[in-house]
Structure 1
Amino acid sequence: MKAKVYSNKQLIGTTDLKIGDESMGCVFGAFNANDSYFKDIQKSVWEIYSTNELDYKKWNSLNFIVQLDNGYFLSPKGGFTIEDLPDFPNEPKRIDIAGLEECIIEAFFLQETARPFIEEPWETITIEQKITFEDELNKEIGLANTSFFDIFKSNKAKHILADFKFSALCKYGSSDDILFGIEKQGFDKQLAVIHLTWKGKPELENFPKIIFYKDLDEFKYLRMYPDKVEWEY
């Protein structure tokens, strides 16, 4: 499936992803870098690859984000790798993504025609909206000054989401219900609909309101499809 590749909010290229090692949730594709990549990102990638040991903090600061053509933002547990070595600057570049959930591989990569990500009144979001929603959630759960990539966040934070890594995926119409991909070691739910309050600072313990879902299929059958029926009639 075709996809856009970002570093934070900056579009840095495109790719057409294909299945690699299905058992490991791996997809890959040629990375078609644009001028923004060569101007702002490539030097950092080369510097990281030039060291004997990968600097994960520096790599994570590049915050690579991939959005499929259907609007879905990938949240791979194994992360992203861009194959672009300084010793071979003119070689074709490649992006590898590892650790996608089985249901995502099944829905978006194994079908002849990829299943739609969402149904109205749910809406896909832009990269700017995604970052904004994630920043606001960080504020509301008291993690505004904590690294987005740190799965094991400080125990000082009291909110139920304090130990989660999360990624905004889509929104419910004009409401403040946002679907987030979530990840926490030992937690068996992959998604959560969170009603942002837009308070811009830490909320009380029971806010923002959260409903967890096992996976994308459960979210669709328990929330999205009922919303669609109500919206249509």
Structure 2
Amino acid sequence: MQSKIYAHNHLIGTANLQVGDETMGGLFGEFVPTEYYFDQIQKLVWAIRQAKKPDANPWHALRLNVQLAHGMFLFPQGGITIDDIRELPGAPIRIDIAGVDYSIIRDYILENPPRPFVEKPWEALTIGQKTGFEDELRKELGATQTSLFRFMTNPPKHFLLDAEVSAFCRDQRNDDVLFAIKKADFDQHFALIHLTWTGKQEKDGYPYAAYYRDYDEFKHTVMYPDIAEWEE
């Protein structure tokens, strides 16, 4: 399936992804870079690859995102790697994605044609919306505050404060955003969150979140009833 790869809000390449090891949630493909990749990203990729002491922080700082052709942004638990070898200029560059949920691979990549990702009033996100929603959520959770500020004010800790989050889709009628989440010892993988857009940590109990085991549960519980109401 065709995909776009972003670093922050910048398109850095495309790839026609294929399924590798299904049990590991693996996808791979030839990475076709943009000029922005060559100008701004490639040297960092080379430096990370050649580092004698592995350090994941510079790689995570790239804030890589992969968006499939139908609009879905992947949330790979095992991360994304770009195999760009400095000593082999002109050689194909490979992208590998690990830890994609099998139900996502089955329903939205392998199935022919793939299932619709979203239906109105729900809609897919642009990369700017995705990063914007994630940034706002972190502010409302208090994740952007310093540890000293937390110690001095002792604000309530939101359940999702220590979770990894990835904005997934939104309800165009309001400020409800579905996030894919990863939290230790928690078996729900999606959270529907009503952002308040205060730009700062919210009071106890906010932003409100409802949790779902997987995307199918969310679709049957929330999206399909919303579609029926929208079409009336």
Q: Report the TM range for the smaller structure's normalisation.
A: over 0.9
Deviation, 1:217, is 0.5
Q: What amino acid is the match of 2:182?
A: E
8 Å contact 1:3–1:66 — kept in the other structure?
yes
Alpha-carbon deviations, 1:97-140, whole Å to 9, x = none?
00011111111222121111111100111100111111110110
| Correspondences of 1:1-233 after superposition (within 5 Å) | 1-145=1-145, 158-233=157-232
Q: What amino acid is the match of 1:58?
A: P
CA distance in 2, matches of 1:226, 1:172: 12
Q: Segments of 4+ in structure 1 off by > 2 A?
A: none
Alpha-carbon deviations, 1:146-205, whole Å to 9, x = none?
8xxxxxxxx986111112110111110131000100001221111111000001111012
CA distance in 2, matches of 1:129, 1:109: 23
Deviation, 1:53, is 2.9
The secondary structure found in structure 2 opposite 1:91 is: coil
Q: Which moved more, 1:137-146 or 1:76-85?
A: 137-146
Deviation, 1:50, is 1.0
Are the structure 2 counterparts of residues 66 and 223 from structure 1 closer, same or farther at C-alpha, using a change threshold of 3 Å? same
The secondary structure found in structure 2 opposite 1:31 is: strand
Are the structure 2 counterparts of residues 157 and 35 from structure 1 closer, same or farther at C-alpha, using a change threshold of 3 Å? farther
8 Å contact 1:143–1:157 — kept in the other structure?
no
Deviation, 1:74, is 0.4
Alpha-carbon deviations, 1:4-46, whole Å to 9, x = none?
0000111001011110001100010110001000000000000
CA distance in 1, matches of 2:185, 2:69: 31
Deviation, 1:89, is 2.0
CA distance in 2, matches of 1:95, 1:157: 40
The secondary structure found in structure 1 opposite 2:201 is: coil
- The structure where helix makes up a greater share of residues is 2
Q: Which moved more, 1:105-114 or 1:75-84?
A: 105-114
The secondary structure found in structure 2 opposite 1:75 is: coil
- Percent of pairs with identical residues: 48
Q: What amino acid is the match of 1:87?
A: E
Are the structure 2 counterparts of residues 201 and 4 from structure 1 closer, same or farther at C-alpha, using a change threshold of 3 Å? same
8 Å contact 1:12–1:33 — kept in the other structure?
yes
Report the aligned-residue RMSD: 1.4
CA distance in 2, matches of 1:98, 1:156: 36
Deviation, 1:51, is 1.3
Deviation, 1:52, is 2.1
CA distance in 2, matches of 1:115, 1:159: 34
Task: Name the counterpart of 2:149.
Answer: none
Deviation, 1:69, is 0.8
TM-score by length of 2: 0.94
- Structure 1 unaligned spans of 5+: 147-154
CA distance in 2, matches of 1:194, 1:203: 13
CA distance in 2, matches of 1:56, 1:217: 32
